[in-house]
Amino acid sequence: MDVDDEENMSSSSTDVKENRNVDNVPPKDGGGQGAGEGMQLSNGGGSSSRKRPLEEGNNGHSKFRPKKRKKTPGPVLPKNALMQLNEIKPGLQYKLLSQTGPVHAPMFVMAVEVNGQVFEGSGPTKKKAKLHAAEKALRSFVQFPNASEAHLAMGRTLSVNTDFTSDQADFPDTLFNGFETPVPSDASFYLGSNGDGSFSSSGDYSLPSSAVASSLSQSPLPAPSPYPSASGKNPVMILNELRPGLKYEFLSESGESHAKNFVMAVAVDGQTFEGSGRNKKLAKARAAQSALASLFNMQLDQTPSRQPIPSEGLQLHLPQVLADAVARLVVDKFSDLTENFTSPHARRKVLAGIVMTTGTDVKDALVISVSTGTKCINGEYMSDRGLALNDCHAEIISRRCLLKFLYTQLELYLSNKEDQQKSIFIKSERGGFKLKENVQFHLYISTSPCGDARIFSPHEAAQEDQGDRHPNRKARGQLRTKIESGEGTIPVRSTTTIQTWDGVLQGERLLTMSCSDKIARWNVLGIQGALLSLFVEPIYFSSIILGSLYHGDHLSRAVYQRIAEIEDLPPLYTLNRPLLSGISNAEARQPGKAPNFSVNWTVGDTGLEVINATTGKDEMGRASRLCKHAFYSRWMRIHAKLSSSLRSKIKPNLYHETKQGATEYQTAKECLFKAFLKAGLGAWVEKPIEQDQFSLTV
């Protein structure tokens, strides 16, 4: 905690500021009192001797202005008794009772009245005398290690009025006042939240979502933890009170100059906790927050309305080595597929890809998919037989490539006994299949996904630290739609929008949900989709890595935090919180007009498939290998082999009806839509239902 942090300590008297002993050097003994000084001293009145005297002959103006104290590195010191007492009882009056002894060694006696009782303290300076008086006062009625606990003991309530739509991310004091509802949790909150240094393959990092306080004022709390509540301090300050003298270590720095990401670590009680943020101060705060949550059961604010969330950096920062390796693998594979970027189809605005790892070992990493694209289908080319791709944005296409890979892996498992071992799937005790342990998927996108994750000003990060004054800040988190035949997104309408087939054909613009919204959806429903959910347990991304425009607060809000209050999810479904990261050498912005084509490649393919994004088919008018029709055909063949062993008995007919048969998936989808509505973020816009009213025979 540096001097800036100390300024945040709640202190209403000038005396507290004057009595900060930053360097832990005892002040020089002050001389006697000025002749004109009264015997009753208001707070801080007795320390005027520290100021330089005005030089005479200069009309009363000083030639020498007091120098500002420079920030001093080193361990942070706990607050003294004077400061703690002032927090509990602001505005106390200290009186000088007597001054004895010779001029060169005076002895002062100061007194302070607290709750009708007078406490005296003596010392060689007035300041030390006041300090001793304060210590006696504190000892007499507060048997607590620090002011935070004393606040609670004395029943003080703290009320807050603040704009929680603000984008401020530097832990304003008010952010934590009155919102602590500590939740007991045994979850280990440091990197590798399985407790063994590995990442959970399901991506469930068991972040407790603290209950929303029913009002903005703090009621006396139950005591699930014997430690103080945050009481208006940032996490670094609270942790320092509990464990003074901690050293914070700078681990890494990544991202572009306008959107840096720093990672700091702190060792507490033999455990190391990491935190990341757009500046070192924020990263330190998040590392401290992680330690507080894990060691002291102190859950700081995580409710979604106060965005961006302070909890993003707890343990949700991907180790930089892995993030950089995933990005490099995807770019290298794209280079191979486009003859070292010389092919005409190497032209692109956005590149995406998915990499599979076993645990976090990069050595065995396998690129599953590579794709490009930034456009959506034109309404008049919609297919009622599932033959056209609706959304050719790179990350959406990469996820469809992953679906293709999952079908291949299921087919591999079902082919013969030898191939079963090669498949990434194993039988689930609940019926159907699940991923083998430690199989993880990492999504790389060369820039932030369109929609909520990209609605920020990349070159104004510094101003945002002062608090988001943007007039549109209340729209943070809104669901947004891509617009037909164009780039960019617009917020959904306030009323539910139902798209109709004939309406779109007649000229209404076809709306497609933004990539940010779709990724948030995958973090609840899984990336396997409705059809595959009839065979396999939900599969979630373990991490999301951005090649540029990485802003942890905005990205985490967009992809999971805004729906943190989601409720009633069916078994196996959860709100996945993937690890998030930028890369060390951010990709340069791709200027110029976006090409109208999208390319895709999945492991096992001989080469790229090129799709016209406007028509959703290739240039010859043929259906893509990633279209609904192709996937439904593969699903039907697998279903024919598995139908006898499935929990859900389904008679495949229309594509739409088969998807509806995935009841748990559909229940989870309803929960997701409700969570968006409940958070005031709008209603999900679905495609015309006629699109899915097709059938096929194997």
318: three-class secondary structure by DSSP: coil
- Residue whose structure tokens are 């929303």: 212
Residues 556 and 309: beta-carbon distance below 8 Å: yes
Q: Tokens representing 695? A: 């059938």
Q: Is 37 known to be catalytic?
A: no
Crossing angle (nearest 10°) for helices 628-642 and 394-415? 20
CA-atom Rg of the chain in angstroms: 31
What are the residue ranges of helices labelled H in 272-319?
Answer: 280-296
Q: Environment class of residue 417 by beta-carbon count within 10 Å: exposed (0-12), middle (13-18) or buried (19+)? A: exposed
The upper half-sphere exposure of residue 543, i.e. CA atoms within 13 Å in the direction of its Cβ, equals 31
Q: Tokens representing 68? A: 């500002």
DSSP 244-257: TT--EEEEEEES-G
- The CA distance from 183 to 296, in Å, is 11
Give me the amino acid identity at 197. G
- Single out the residue of 630, 665, 611, 583 nearest to residue 355, CA to CA: 583
Contacts of 296 (CB under 8 A, 6+ apart): 225, 227, 242
Identified catalytic residue from 149, 180, 395, 484:
395
- The CA distance from 374 to 372, in Å, is 7
- Residue whose structure tokens are 């540096």: 2
- The CA distance from 274 to 681, in Å, is 31
Beta-bridge partners for 482:
489, 512
The upper half-sphere exposure of residue 681, i.e. CA atoms within 13 Å in the direction of its Cβ, equals 30
Q: Environment class of residue 25 by beta-carbon count within 10 Å: exposed (0-12), middle (13-18) or buried (19+)? A: exposed
- The CA distance from 413 to 519, in Å, is 28
Contacts of 441 (CB under 8 A, 6+ apart): 354, 355, 356, 368, 402, 527, 539, 541, 542
Q: Tokens representing 667? A: 């229940």
Q: Tokens representing 17? A: 């500021």
Residues 452 and 558: beta-carbon distance below 8 Å: yes
CA distances from 395 to 105, 343, 449, 544, 556 (A): 76, 21, 8, 11, 17
Q: Tokens representing 31? A: 């001389």
Residues 526 and 533: beta-carbon distance below 8 Å: yes
Q: Tokens representing 237? A: 């300050």
512: three-class secondary structure by DSSP: strand
E strand or H helix that includes residue 268: strand 261-268
- Single out the residue of 298, 318, 200, 337 nearest to residue 252, CA to CA: 318
- The CA distance from 119 to 134, in Å, is 8
- Residue whose structure tokens are 């996490």: 235
- The CA distance from 579 to 322, in Å, is 11
- The CA distance from 110 to 98, in Å, is 7
- The CA distance from 588 to 323, in Å, is 17
Residues 141 and 115: beta-carbon distance below 8 Å: yes
Residues forming the active site: 395
